[in-house]
Amino acid sequence: MDVQLNSPVPVHSFDEWRAAARALLERQVAPEAVRWLTASDVPAVPAAPLLAAPDVRISRTLMHMLQTAACCRTPNRWAFLYRVLWRWQHGERAVLAPQDADGARLRAMVAAVQRELDAMLVGIRFRERRPDAGAPRFVAWCEPGHEVLPQLARHFAARMRRVTWMIATPEASVMWDGATLHSTGALLRGPFPAETGGWLGVFSPARLDAELIDPSAAPPASPDAPATLLACRRCALWQNATQPVPGAGPARARIMLVGEQPGDQEDLAGQPFVGPAGKLLGSALAQAGLERRAIYLTNAVKHFKWEARGKRRMHKTPAQREIEACAYWLERELALVQPRVVVALGNTALKALSGNPRAALKQMLGTPVQHQGRWIVAVYHPAYVLRVPGDEARARAFAVLADGLREAKRLAS
């Protein structure tokens, strides 16, 4: 972004703002000296070459908050976000605190966007079109109050995998061709007409979770059961998490791996085991001769439980009542996937799978047991293996994990 001192800064997107903000910070331009122009003030122009990026390092949490708040349709948002970044970069960590005026506003913006996103994710309705070469199979129309289309798009791209769809809003549309997201301006004038010959049916995310695992999945039996994981309020953990992280993997995997709960990176990505523990798990699976894509990966608890330490979000072990609240989802996954072997990665998973709050991992390591018609194999959690002090002891813990996975492979075949 070629930023001229004393000239207004045009911004059309978060990426443009970020590039401009970095350049301004590098030149020590104070927030009061910048005039930001928004999309409605200036037409979009091809992106100018970036200045060499200055050394602006911010925490993942702050980046996530800025990115989320940037979707909030509120006046002067770019100027406000730059002020937050400026204060943070100048050592004012209180800028994120709820007691700080800017911190409170930032949090309110993030919460407004998150609420909107939650409502959209639960409420959006996809209509299935008659097959037509090149056209997306499902189409949805929505009118979000904030600019949440990119997040919605990323969510459904991960969710619907190879199934093609388009989401249209009054300002923009995004299409998923099964591999890549394509954004355009407003394509449709929506809302779509009532159900007529052109549409095959309506697909709501309330059914999406279940149907993507198994098309014959029944809706939740009890009337007070949440319709989707996204709407889950069975315990309080949803309040501080970015999103729930559902399990992922083949609908009928023979082996299911159950971890404890999503970590910082999983919470942001919405997928299990994508952080450091996931990398180590990948190596252990490879060592055991198992393909990660053949396995269903999930967690005993679906929301990230954490506490702030400085600017970092530190993992906190879930309480028994949270494990019990979330057992509802684990049981649904077990019923749908019907794995022959379930691997408990660590103590929390073992408690959840055995239904025994006093289950002790050490006593079960290396000894598969039959439980409710399937094998349970207990192994160390990969995050524990990462933390074991000393190379030799760590290698031994890794071997226990890999051996358990090898045993699971044997039992599943």
Q: Would you count residue 277 as binding ligand URA (CB under 6 A)?
A: yes
CB of 230 to ligand URA, least distance (A): 17
Q: Would you count residue 259 as binding ligand URA (CB under 6 A)?
A: yes
CB of 393 to ligand URA, least distance (A): 20
Q: Give the interface segment with ligand URA, choosing from 26-34, 154-162, 248-256, 270-278 (CB under 6 A).
A: 270-278
E strand or H helix at 381: none
For tokens 């199979």, what's the residue? Answer: 137
Q: Give the interface segment with ligand URA, choosing from 34-42, 186-194, 275-283, 336-344 (CB under 6 A).
A: 275-283
In the sheet that 138-141 helps form, which strands lie side by side, from edge to edge? 181-185, 172-176, 165-168, 138-141, 126-129, 199-203
CB of 333 to ligand URA, least distance (A): 14
CB of 401 to ligand URA, least distance (A): 13
According to CB under 6 A, which one of 16, 116, 209, 260 is a site residue for ligand URA? 260
Nearer to ligand URA, 277 or 364 (CB): 277
Q: Would you count residue 261 as binding ligand URA (CB under 6 A)?
A: yes
Q: Are 308 and 93 a contacting pair, CB within 8 Å?
A: no
Eight-state DSSP code of residue 76: T
- Phi, psi torsion values for 344, nearest 5 degrees: -90, 115
CB of 264 to ligand URA, least distance (A): 9
Q: Are 247 and 339 a contacting pair, CB within 8 Å?
A: no
**Of all residues in this chain, which one has the CB nearest to ligand URA in the complex?**
259
Whole-angstrom distance between the N-terminal and C-terminal Cα of the chain? Answer: 56
Nearer to ligand URA, 147 or 266 (CB): 266
Q: Would you count residue 10 as binding ligand URA (CB under 6 A)?
A: no
Report helix, strand or coil for 106: helix
Count of CB atoms within 10 A of residue 159's CB?
18
Q: Would you count residue 327 as binding ligand URA (CB under 6 A)?
A: no
CA–CA gap between residue 354 and residue 196 (Å, rounded): 50
Beta-strand runs (E) in 26-133: 36-37, 126-129
According to CB under 6 A, which one of 10, 205, 272, 339 is a site residue for ligand URA? 272
CB of 398 to ligand URA, least distance (A): 16
Of 96, 327, 149, 339, nearest to 225 by C-alpha is: 327
Encode burial over 200-234: b for 16+ CB neighbours within 10 A, e otherwise: eeebebbebbbebbeeebeeeeeeeebbbbbebeb
Q: Give the interface segment with ligand URA, choosing from 17-25, 105-113, 265-273, 402-410 (CB under 6 A).
A: 265-273
x/- string (CB under 6 A) for ligand URA, residues 365-384? ------------------x-
Q: Would you count residue 325 as binding ligand URA (CB under 6 A)?
A: no
Q: Would you count residue 243 as binding ligand URA (CB under 6 A)?
A: no
According to CB under 6 A, which one of 136, 247, 263, 270 is a site residue for ligand URA? 263
Amino acid occupying residue 411: L
Beta-strand runs (E) in 172-309: 172-176, 181-185, 199-203, 255-259, 296-299, 306-309
Residues binding ligand URA: number (CB under 6 A): 13
According to CB under 6 A, which one of 299, 323, 334, 339 is a site residue for ligand URA? 299
CB of 86 to ligand URA, least distance (A): 34
Q: Give the interface segment with ligand URA, choosing from 37-45, 55-63, 137-145, 268-276 (CB under 6 A).
A: 268-276
Alpha carbon of residue 267 to chain centroid: 5
CB of 394 to ligand URA, least distance (A): 17
Output the CA–CA distances (angstroms, integers) from residue 179 to 73, 89, 163, 271, 293, in the order listed. 30, 37, 9, 17, 17
Nearer to ligand URA, 169 or 299 (CB): 299
- Phi, psi torsion values for 275, nearest 5 degrees: -95, -160
CB of 397 to ligand URA, least distance (A): 15
Of 401, 371, 374, nearest to 254 by C-alpha is: 374
For ligand URA, the binding residues (CB under 6 A) are: 259-263, 266, 272-273, 275, 277-278, 299, 383
